[in-house]
Amino acid sequence: MAATWLSALDTGAIWSAVRGLARNVQSYKSHLANCDLPRRNDLDGRGDLSEETLAEFTGFFLGTCIDQVGFMEGLVQSDRLRARILLWAEEEVKRKALPPKSGAILEALLYRGELPRADVAGIVGTGERQARRIVSALAGRGVLTSESSYGALRLAFPATLAARWLPGLFAEQA
C-alpha cells in the first residue's frame, strides 16, 4: 500500500514545512500539479514546463515556510521558554527527581548556549563531585547533551518534555 505524501513525511506534528503544507493540502496539491503544466507562451520560460506556475508554487511554498517560522516564534517566546524550563526544574527539585541547583545549570545554558564542564561547579557553588552529580541527573533526564564525557554541555529538548517546555508544538492527541 502506497503511503500518502503526508504520512511519508510524517514529523509527528512537530514544526516543519510539512506542517504548513498539511494545513493547506488543497492549495499545495493544486500549486504542485500546476508545475507540470506546459509553458503557455514564449514569455513563460524556456523549457517544456511553465516557469510561471513554478514561480507561483515557489511563492506559495516560501509563504508557507514564513508562516511556520512565525508559528515557531510565537510558540517559543524565549522569555516564556526560560520561565517554563526553570519552573520545570524547580518542580523536579521539589519532587526530588533532580538535585538542588539543577535550575542554575539550565539557566546558564539558556544564556550562554554552551557550558564548559569546568564552569559547572562555580555556577552551582559546590564541589566538583556534586557538580558532576547534578550534570549526570540532568543528562539522565535528557535535558543536557554533550559530544563526549569531557565536552561542553548544551541544552537538549527531549520529546518527553515538549508538551511542558513548548506547549502547542505537538498536535493534541484525541
Instruction: Give residue 144's pLDDT.
Output: 94
10 Å Cβ neighbour count for 135?
21
CA distance 43 to 141: 59
pTM of the full predicted structure?
0.62
- Describe the strand order of the beta sheet including 144-145 as a list of residue ranges: 114-115, 153-155, 144-145
Helix-helix angle 102-112:78-94, to 10 degrees: 160
Last residue of a domain, one of 76, 94, 119: 76
3-state SS assignment for residue 18: helix
Residue 13 has pLDDT above 60, yes or no: no
- Quick one: 153 and 109 in the same domain? yes
- Is residue 30, in this structure, part of any structural domain at all? yes
pLDDT at 74: 77
Asked whether the predicted pLDDT for residue 98 surpasses 80, the reply is yes
Residues 84 and 67 placed together within one structural domain of the fold: no
Least confident of 92-96, 101-105, 135-139, 161-165: 161-165
Q: Answer left, alpha or beta for residue 125, where phi above 0 means left and psi between -120 and 50 means alpha.
A: left
Note the pLDDT tens digit of each residue in 34-81.
877 767 777 766 777 778 888 888 999 999 999 988 887 777 777 788
Q: Is the pLDDT of residue 109 over 60?
A: yes
- Greater model confidence, 14 or 88: 88
CA distance 36 to 25: 17
Number of domains in the chain: 2
Domain containing residue 40: 12-76
pLDDT of residue 170: 61
Domain boundary among 45, 76, 107: 76
Contact 160, 79 (CB under 8 A): no
Given 25, 52, 76, the domain boundary residue is 76
Q: Are residues 49 and 95 in the same domain?
A: no
Q: Pick 8 or 131 by higher pLDDT.
A: 131
Q: What is the mean pLDDT of the segment spanning 89-110?
A: 96
21, 64 contact by CB (below 8 A): yes
